[in-house]
Structures are given as C-alpha cells and as structure tokens.
Structure 1
Amino acid sequence: MRKWHRWLSIFFGIFILWIAITGVLSQVAVLWPSGAAAEQVTASPPPGFVCPEGWRCMPPRPQGGMRSLVGLFHHLHSGESFGLVGTVISVLSGLALVFFSFSGIWLYVQMWRFRSKRALAPRWFWK
C-alpha cells in the first residue's frame, strides 16, 4: 500500500494542487469586493426590475472585476479548458484524492499497531 501511495502521489500531487488552487481562486473571485460595484449590491433594484409576488428579490450582482473570472476558474478547475483529457485527469485526480485519504489513514493505523506491538510509547505523531 505504501508503494502505491508514494508513486501515485508523485503523479497526482501536481493535479490535486492545481485543482485546489483553482478552486480557491474561484471562491475568492466570488467573494472579492469590487469597489463601487460592491455598493450597488445593497442599493435599490435597477429600473424595470420587477420582483414576483411573495418573493424577496435582490438586485443582480455586478459582473465586473474579479467576479468576471469565475467562469474561467471553473473551467480550469474542472479540466474543461483542456478538453476530454483534462476532464478525465480531473476525475482521476478526485479519485486519487479519495485513495490518498483512505490509504493514508490505513498506513497510519498500521504504524500505530506496529508501535504498540513493539511496546513503544504510543504517540499521535512520532519521529
């Protein structure tokens, strides 16, 4: 298990890091204030905007600045920008992340058992 964990992490580590960075950037782009456009969100609805009966409507968010990059970050995050190959690598990277989670826990439990069998002091982290 350790050998698989090590070799797969060398390949998929780069893609998982890419997915993590583009995911964070897409969330930052949504939350990033855009100066005067940020005040428009709390302003009254634009002229001609009609809210249906019984609904609590908010005016549409302005699409300038960082917010306009959300679509780009999503396509980079999902691998769609690189075609079918990018999407397949993105899905495989997600599956690899699940594998790393379970195999990492499994390796930790094995090391914990090994230490307890050798009568070494059980610790959460060891050197």
Structure 2
Amino acid sequence: MRKWHRWLSVFFAIVMIWVAVTGLLHYVVVWWPTAEPSPAALAALEPPPGFVCPEGWRCIAPRPDTGNPLAQYLGLFHHLHAGSEGGIWGEIIVMLSGLALVFFTVSGMWMYFQMWAGRKARGLKKKVFWK
C-alpha cells in the first residue's frame, strides 16, 4: 500500500496543488470587497423596451460594475479549477485527482492504523500520536 501511496502522490500532488490554487483564486474573486452598484449602473443594464431574446439564443444580462478588478477572471478561474480549459483530458485528470484524494485518505488512514497496531503489539507507547 505504501508503494502505491508514494508513487501516485508524485503525479497527483501537482494536480491537487493546481486545483487548490485555482479554487482559492476563485474565492478571492468571489469574496473581493465590492461596492454596491449605483442606480444609474443598474438602469443601464436594463434591456431596451420591447427587447425579446431571439429564439435559439441565450441572452444573459450583464453583471453590474461593482468595482471588482478581478471579476473578469471569475469564469477563467472556475474553468481552470474544473479542468475545462484542458478539454476532455483536463476534466479526466481533475476527476482522477478527486479519486486520488479519496485513495490517499483511505490508504493514509490504513497505514496509520497498521503502524498503531504494530506499536501496540510490541508494547510501545499506546498513544494515538507518538514521536
């Protein structure tokens, strides 16, 4: 188990760091302090009278300008985090890194339990954490 844990961690550590950093950047953008949009800015976003979105189109109302200089990067960080920017292979790698996270959690707990049981069987310290 330790051999698999060690070898898989070499590759997936890089991917997991990537996912962690892009996730943090995503939340930096989301939680960045912003000002409330002015009534004039909100009024400018209203569609003209009688506007109807053409059939087959997806019309999205623009976001009001709240003074967040990073707001333009929100979609990019989300796509980088999800692996979408890497196409199908990026999404597969991100999905496998999620599965690797589960594997590392289970195998790490299994190895810890084996070490703890071995120490207990040899009559060494019976503490949960040891040096």
TM-score interval (norm. to shorter): 0.7 to 0.9
Instruction: Name the structure 2 match of 1:32.
Output: 32
Structure having the higher helix fraction is 1
1:16 aligns with 2:16: yes
Q: AA paired with 2:65?
A: P
Who wins on radius of gyration, i.e. which is larger?
Answer: 2
What are the superposed Cα offsets for residues 26-74 of structure 1, whole Å, 9 maximum, x if unpaired?
Answer: 011100124xxx233xx6583387xxxxxxxxxx653641122110001
Give the 3-state SS of the residue equivalent to 1:39 in structure 2.
Answer: coil
Unaligned stretches of 5+ in structure 1?
A: 50-59
Give the 3-state SS of the residue equivalent to 1:124 in structure 2.
Answer: coil
Instruction: Name the structure 2 match of 1:124.
Output: 128
TM-score (norm 2): 0.76
Q: Cα RMSD between the aligned structures?
A: 2.0
Structure 1 residues 73 and 108: CA distance shift in structure 2, 3 A: same
Q: 1:75 aligns with which of 76, 79, 85?
A: 79
Q: AA paired with 1:104?
A: G
Number of aligned residues: 112
Q: 1:62 aligns with which of 65, 78, 81?
A: 65
Percentage of identical aligned residues: 50
TM-score (norm 1): 0.78
